Amino acid sequence: MIAVFGTFATAARTLPPTNETTSITTRTSVAVIGNLYSHSDIVYVQGNNDLGNNPQNMTCGEGQSTISYQEDIMAISGTATYDKYTNLDTGPKTANSDNFESTQILTYDTNGDGTSNGKMIADESILVETVANGCTTGETCCDSVWGAPDGTAVPATNGVIVAGSSMVVSEAAVTSATGATITADSTSTPVSMDYYVEIEGVNQTEGDLTTGAVGTATVYVNANLQEGIGNSTAVGSEITYSDVTTASGLFNLAKEVSYTSG
């Protein structure tokens, strides 16, 4: 088995939610002999001022954060099962709770329909982007947004992190989970993102790679994270992070990514 784990932190900060919040929950369950197609595209953008002016005209202390989730599945000529849960909640969160979360269990076997001509192509990704201007508490624009102690410098931030997986397989059992947080009533709750995926064979015997997944799969995380100095726009720290793992043939592959804002 190839297993990769990554954990890192920076200093992006959560934003307060709007007065009206939204919750959307979806559950999907499919079992099919033949073809399976599925597409998910979810984008949540939260700001603390007019989103129509962002990010080009952001003012003192203004911030904007984005969660973007995408998934595409095309399974042709085989047997497939697919169980999926997603939940989006734009309300304020505390530590260990998420604005967006999803879990899925997906299996595919090209031989299940009596032929061996099929393939499954599947892609999944989760992105969190944060951008905010700096300010100093004691300024009206800063106190009304962040509520930090007087005289505290709130630095500018600019960061994006994305994790995901892609595969072309004739047999695989896939389990994945995602989570992301960008809103809270207090900046002590960090911006966060988590992604986990495991790919193995259908009915695989533990430790036996001859019964592993068949095909090619890639799992990855990429990030570019910048932190300002004081309340200026000068860049005080920058992190560029890239981790990509590919397996091909008969394989097991797992990756876990955890990101917090500090």
Q: pLDDT tens, 119-165?
A: 999 999 999 998 877 776 666 566 555 444 445 566 777 889 999 99
> CB-based burial of residue 129 (10 Å sphere; 0-12 exposed, 13-18 middle, 19+ buried)?
buried
- The Cα–Cα gap between 172 and 111 comes to 12
In sequence order, the β-bridge partners of residue 73 are 38, 122
Domain that holds residue 148: 2-260
For residue 198, the Cα-to-chain-centroid distance in whole angstroms is: 15
Closest CA to 23 of 109, 110, 87: 87
In sequence order, the β-bridge partners of residue 117 are none
Question: What does the pLDDT read at residue 9?
Answer: 45
- The Cα–Cα gap between 121 and 5 comes to 24
Q: What is the mean pLDDT of the chain?
A: 86
Q: pLDDT tens, 165-180?
A: 999 999 999 999 999 9
The CB density around residue 43, as the number of other CB atoms within 10 Å, is 11
Decide: 78 and 108 in contact? Cβ < 8 Å.
yes
What value does the mean pLDDT take over residues 3-24?
A: 69
Question: What does the pLDDT read at residue 142?
Answer: 60
- The Cα–Cα gap between 24 and 45 comes to 15
Sign of CA dihedral 164, 177, 200, 255: positive
Task: Look at the chain and report how many structural domains it folds into.
Answer: 1
Band (186; pLDDT cuts 50, 70, 90): confident
Question: What does the pLDDT read at residue 230?
Answer: 64
